[in-house]
Every structure is written in structure tokens, then in C-alpha cells.
Structure 1
Amino acid sequence: MKIAFSPCPNDTFIFHAWVHGLIPGAPKLDVTYADIDITNSLAAGSNGPDVVKISYAALPWVLSEYALLPCGGALGRGCGPLVLTSNEAAADKGPAVLAGRRVAVPSERSTAYLLFRLWAAQQVPGGVGEIVVMPFQEIMPAVRDGAIDAGLVIHEARFTYPEYGLRLLADLGSWWESDTHLPIPLGAIIARRSMDLEAIATWIRASLQYAWAHPKASQDYVLQHAQELSTEVANAHINLYVNEFSENLGEKGYEAITALLSRAMQEGIVPKFDLAALKR
């Protein structure tokens, strides 16, 4: 079975047991490790993987071929994207300073960018200036060096941005939670509709439960793919992004996803689609 997910600690932690043949009855996996911008593109292609991790923001483009699985993804609280700047005075003045400025984002179809656009529509009079797409690991150095005015960052950058001398301008997760009282949907696990979706969800849950029961077992695998992160940062990443929604979206998870994509449709950010397709 072909699968694609990111090398980030939350994904490698969840899928470690399945990748290493520790789940009885689960098929062998042929794994592609790629950043979310690439996996979004893979899912949108004509020959995408059987199972793939994508941004929730990319779901409307792929729901005809893929179904959203109720487990394995990333939703949560206190784990949203951050808008960073190197300008201390700008950080103190708030979002309005982004009007007409250059902002780097990790992907135009990422949940982070979708949230940024929803937030900026409320918070930045007249809108931002130029949007620059670049790999997420390049964003903080570019902000630090003054190549861009602000950057939208995700994942472990929550823990490491002070090392670059950067200042927090906005926490989009906190904004979303205060605005909706819902968790923030980040990454989804999808599978081809032609496959046994119930079985795949069962294998993913078994892999997650193995990881929780044997947290040390996946450590070497996680760090191997963690792009030079320390053990402490990798563990903090896992603790933040792997939670009860990773095991089961539940009604609150589906409510959050529906709220996000409904707003995105209203703003014309994603194509219109039948929200009922999220559950079938």
C-alpha cells in the first residue's frame, strides 16, 4: 500500500508501528516522506498514493477521489500557525502593520495559509502586500535576515522561533479558538474511496495506540526524520499535535473542519463542495 506523510514527529510517531510491520494483518507500506505542500500536490494528481496526509485546506480539491479518515490527522488547541516578525516595534503595534507588506507562507493550499487569509481579512485593513511561498524551513531565516517583513510558520517553529530572534505578531490558533470556540484543524489523513476505509482506519488507530503504549519504540525513527530537531523539541511536537482527535475526530472534530471549510467557501478561498462529503 502506498502512503505519503510528512517527516514531522507527529506523523512518524503515529505511523511508526505500521511502517515497521508491528500491526497484525496490516499490509506492508511503501512510504513517501514529503512536506505538506508536496503531499497536497500528490493527492491532487492523477496517480496519487493510496493513503496520504494533506492539509485540511486542500480537501475540497480531492474529495471526489479520496475520503477523509476519522483518525491519524492533526487537530487540537494551542497548536496553530504563528505570524512572526523580526521587528520588535511592529510586533508591538499588532496586525495592522502587515498592510502592504511582504509575507512568506509555506504553501498556498495549506491550512496555515487558509487561516492566515481568514485572519487577515478581519485584522489587516487593506490587506497584506505580496505573498511569497517558500519551504517552511526557510521562512524564519528569511524573516530574520530582512528578506521579508513577516512569516507564517508551522510545526516545530512554535518552539524554536526565539532562537532566530523573532517576535510573535499573532497566534492564529488562539485567534481561531477565541473566534469559534473550536479546535483548529491542521492535517488530514485521506484514503482512496475505492479502498477498505474501515480497515485502514483500524490499522491507523492500532499504530497510534501502539505508539502511546510504547513511546520509546519510535524514538530513533522519529529523530531520523526530524530534520535535526532535539529529542526535547520532537517530544514537545508529538505531545502538542498527537491527541484524542488523532484517534477519533468525533463530533467536535467534524464541527471544527466544517466551520473552517464553510468560512473558506464563503470567502472564495476554496471551491464550493458538498460538506456532507466530509463524512462519507
Structure 2
Amino acid sequence: MALSLAISPCPNDTFVFHALVHGLVPGAPPVDVTYADVDVTNTAAEKGEYDLVKVSYAALPWLLDKYELLPCGGALGRGCGPLVVTQPGRTSIEGATVAIPGERTTAYLLFRHWAAEKSAKIEVAPFHEIMPGVAAGRFDAGLVIHEARFTYQRHGLTALADLGEWWEAKTGLPIPLGAILARRGVVDPAAAAEWIRASVRHAWGNPEASRDYVLSHAQEMERDVVDQHIALYVNEFTADLGDEGHAAVEALLSANAS
């Protein structure tokens, strides 16, 4: 019986899960994969819709009754945080309309703490609509994630703040972005972690094997952007959170509770 898996179409997820999705991990079950933005998977996970699912770390408080956090496969690191982007000349978000990719995303959790004393109107939008919306004046500012770190200047935008740098300066810890969860009572978390680690090892050992698959799902098709994305978001924490990764997750969840 196939396991249902939901991940984003972003290069880091397709790179990491290529081997698992394509039956290249010995002993792993077949996988029925769905690709969706993280705000969609956060909501779906609340309903227990998938066996394995990529979600925002900030959404964990609403999900851990149904799911167990896996120590691998996700996105956590340094220099990879969300950006607040605006048209040139804006120096503050005070009174601004800010587009965000979801209310339970790690990006928005960080934004709330960074902007705690500022007054701004929030609108949720699919992340691929945020930069064009800011460039067109639909929004005054946007909270962007994923490959937008590498492409916002193409839209004529400037980065007002790097929330990853802000988090690292505040805590000294890497930033937890996306987590992989296994549905309780359905998936053996230890086995799932081994399948995912095997998929990660296969990706690192055979980087060209997933190239066509990754590019077919990437919203930014340029190879250099895809390569930068993978290099930034697929790192030692993808293979194992370790003590530092777990400490970062605990710090983020403490911020969520405050």
C-alpha cells in the first residue's frame, strides 16, 4: 500500500525526496506524492490528510497530536531566512500592507516578533504572487521565502530586512523553516527517518539523477537559481537535526508560545 506524501515543488524538497518518490530506496514502500505550497500542507496536516508531510515548524503546536516530528528531511540552516521586500525607497513597514505566505508559517512567526511594535496590515497570498504584487503596488511589502531570496531583485525590489539574520543574531541558532512529519499510528517514524536519510544520501551521491525531476517542478527554471536553492536549504540538518537543530526548534516553539 502506498504512503501519501505531501511536499512543496521547491528544488530542496524534490531533490531530497527524488529517490523515495521514484522507488530508489531499498525497503521503502511506494509513495503517492502531492505537491503544494506550505500553507496548503499546514492546513491539510491539521486534518491528518497525509502520511508524511512537509509543514512549517511554526505550525507544529497544531499538528503534534496527529503527527510525530522526524529528525531529517526538512529545511533548517543559517543564511536562509525569509526576507521582507519592498519597492525601493521604503524604509519601514509602519502602516504598510504586507503580503505573507501563510499565518502559520515560520516566516510569519518571525515577522510578528520582528515587527512587534509596528503597525501593518497583513494579507495572505500564495508565495509566487507576493513579489509581483509588491512590484505592481498591490502590496506595500512582502514576506518572501524559497528561491525568492535569489530573485527578488529581478522584480525591482529591495530587501528591507533579513529575518534569518535577525533570528540568528537574537538566538545564535540556525533557523527552522520546514519540518517533515509522520502520521501517528500509520507510519513507523524510525523507519520513515531511515527512508528519508537514504533518499538524502542518494541525492548527494547522485546529484544529476534528480535534475530533470527537480527542474520540472521548479517555479524558477534557471539552473543557477535551482542550484543555489539546493545548496542553501539542503545541508547537514537535512540529514539529521542534531542537538543544535533540536535547540533551534525548541527556541522557535517558545517564541510561538509567547
Interval of TM-score (by shorter of Structure 1 and Structure 2)? over 0.9
Could you tell me how far apart the structure 2 residues matched to 1:52 and 1:141 are? 28
What are structure 1's unaligned runs of at least 5 residues? 267-280
1:175 to 157, 160, 166: 166
What are structure 2's unaligned runs of at least 5 residues? none
SS across alignment from 1:147:
coil
Q: How does 1:85-234 map to 2 (within 5 A)?
A: 85-86=86-87, 88-90=88-90, 93=91, 97-121=92-116, 125=117, 127-194=118-185, 195-234=187-226
Compute the displacement of 1:149 (Å): 0.8
Aligned residue number for residue 54 of structure 1: 55
Contact persistence 2:7–2:36 (CA under 8 A): yes
Identity of aligned residues (%): 62
1:244 to 236, 240, 253: 236
Aligned residue number for residue 45 of structure 2: 43
- Runs (4+) of structure 1 moved beyond 6 Å? none
Contact persistence 1:102–1:128 (CA under 8 A): no
Compute the displacement of 1:129 (Å): 2.3
**Structure 1 residues 229, 28: CA separation in 2 closer, same or farther (over 3 Å shift)?**
same
SS across alignment from 1:168:
strand
The alignment's C-alpha RMSD in Å is 0.9
Q: How many residues align?
A: 255
SS across alignment from 2:89:
helix
Compute the displacement of 1:229 (Å): 2.0
Could you tell me how far apart the structure 2 residues matched to 1:171 and 1:129 are? 17
SS across alignment from 1:31:
strand
Contact persistence 1:103–1:128 (CA under 8 A): no
Out of 201-210 and 138-147, give the one that drifted further: 138-147
Give the TM-score normalised by the residue count of structure 2: 0.97
Give the TM-score normalised by the residue count of structure 1: 0.90
